[in-house]
Amino acid sequence: MRQSSTFEPGISEGGEIDFERGLQPQDFSEFLGQKNLLEPLQLMIRASAARQETLEHLLFTGLPGLGKTSLAMALAKEIGAPLKMTSGPALSRAKDLVGILSQLEKGTLLFIDEIHRLPTEVEEYLYGAMDRFQIEWTFDAGVHARLLKLDLKPFTLVGATTREALLTPPFRSRFGHHLRFEPYSEEALAAILQRSAKLLRIHLEEDATTVLAEHARGTPRIANRLLRRARDIAQLENDNRVNRAVVKRTFQLLEIDARGLERPDRRVLEALAQAGGRPLGLKNLGVAVGEAEDTIAEVIEPWLIRQGLLMRTPQGRLLTPQGWVALGLPAPATDETAG
């Protein structure tokens, strides 16, 4: 599902959703590079089918673009279950949730994206639905208040979140299995790129695949979007062939530098440098670079941390020594180095 982020590397807006849908894996065989997630899931599917039960509730956690929505869709196809997709922000009132739950067919996969954004009140209604397939619903108030018990058809909740830490322990404990999505290897990204190129009917050369995979930040969504940008150039200038030169041109246009940094990354690093080595909180950093806090925390920062350019401390975000080097600036003297 679309994330609320304003910045995603290598991206422009128009047509992105259709583009992503066209490349979505259709079943487990097309869901590449995450064997460690698929194997336990396949075991659960077989066991619950043998018991003739619905699959236990599943929690998918991980950064945007790692395939949480895709896996939910592939899973529904794999087990032949109806799929209902919604999101935490769309369920802002208990009424919205009750409306959806009461209409689920038996065995439906109910995918709730951004589940950390469910209001507490709505979350509590979900508990009974998850535990007993029942909701207790009070309507009217005071002496007229009436309690209505509604039996639901057994369903499987698939909750997805980029912010696992924001889920309460009672909520988290209600999921039978937790799948943690990690960044993909470059080989897995290369396989995803090759599959996408085939679907898009473009010729993607091997060394170009390698460079795109290296710059995809472990994220299939970014890999596919870099490919899309390269395809534009290849179509206009290179007879639909994406080679190394086309990728190089693509990166120039997207202002991706030799280290793989894009403009928003550089803005974050520069804002931290301007703080002169003092830690900056997420809020202040967001204001300084003009990006939403979630975008910084979920999209920009994780990669900068993995590159060793930025670190999170209890006081806020700081540049690492390599971060200063990346900006071509001397690191300010710290207490230890000064003393």
Residue (of 215, 216, 197) closest to 206 by Cα position: 197
Of residues 269 through 308, those in contact with ligand ADP by CB under 6 A are none
Among 33, 218, 302, 323, binds ligand ADP (CB under 6 A): 33
Judged by CB under 6 A, the stretch of 50-58, 60-68, 166-174, 227-235 that binds ligand ADP is: 60-68
Question: Closest separation between CB of residue 64 and ligand ADP, Å?
Answer: 4
Of residues 185 through 214, those in contact with ligand ADP by CB under 6 A are 192
Question: Closest separation between CB of residue 120 and ligand ADP, Å?
Answer: 24
Residue 64 makes contact with ligand ADP by CB under 6 A: yes
The beta strand positions in the chain, using DSSP E, are 58-61, 83-87, 109-113, 134-139, 146-151, 156-161, 177-180, 203-204, 241-242, 310-313, 316-319
Residue 61 makes contact with ligand ADP by CB under 6 A: no
Comparing every residue's Cβ against ligand ADP, the nearest one is 67
Residue (of 7, 2, 8, 6) closest to 222 by Cα position: 8
Residue 70 makes contact with ligand ADP by CB under 6 A: yes
Distance CA 259, CA 283 (A): 26
Structure-block tokens of residue 300: 């920009």
Judged by CB under 6 A, the stretch of 6-14, 45-53, 220-228, 258-266 that binds ligand ADP is: 220-228
H or E element that contains 68:
helix 68-79
Residue 9 makes contact with ligand ADP by CB under 6 A: no
Q: Are 220 and 65 in contact (CB under 8 A)?
A: yes
Of residues 222 through 251, those in contact with ligand ADP by CB under 6 A are 224
207 by Cβ neighbours in 10 Å (0-12 / 13-18 / 19+) ranks as exposed
Residue 220 makes contact with ligand ADP by CB under 6 A: yes
Residue 34 makes contact with ligand ADP by CB under 6 A: yes
Catalytic residues: 68-69, 113, 162, 221
Question: Closest separation between CB of residue 23 and ligand ADP, Å?
Answer: 4
Question: Closest separation between CB of residue 32 and ligand ADP, Å?
Answer: 4
Q: Are 74 and 38 in contact (CB under 8 A)?
A: no
Residue 116 makes contact with ligand ADP by CB under 6 A: no
Among 4, 24, 134, 307, binds ligand ADP (CB under 6 A): 24
- Torsion-angle region of residue 274: left (phi > 0), alpha (psi -120 to 50) or beta? alpha
- Max alpha carbon distance in the chain (Å)? 75
Residues forming contacts to ligand ADP in the complex (CB under 6 A) are: 1, 3, 20, 23-25, 31-34, 64-70, 192, 220-221, 224
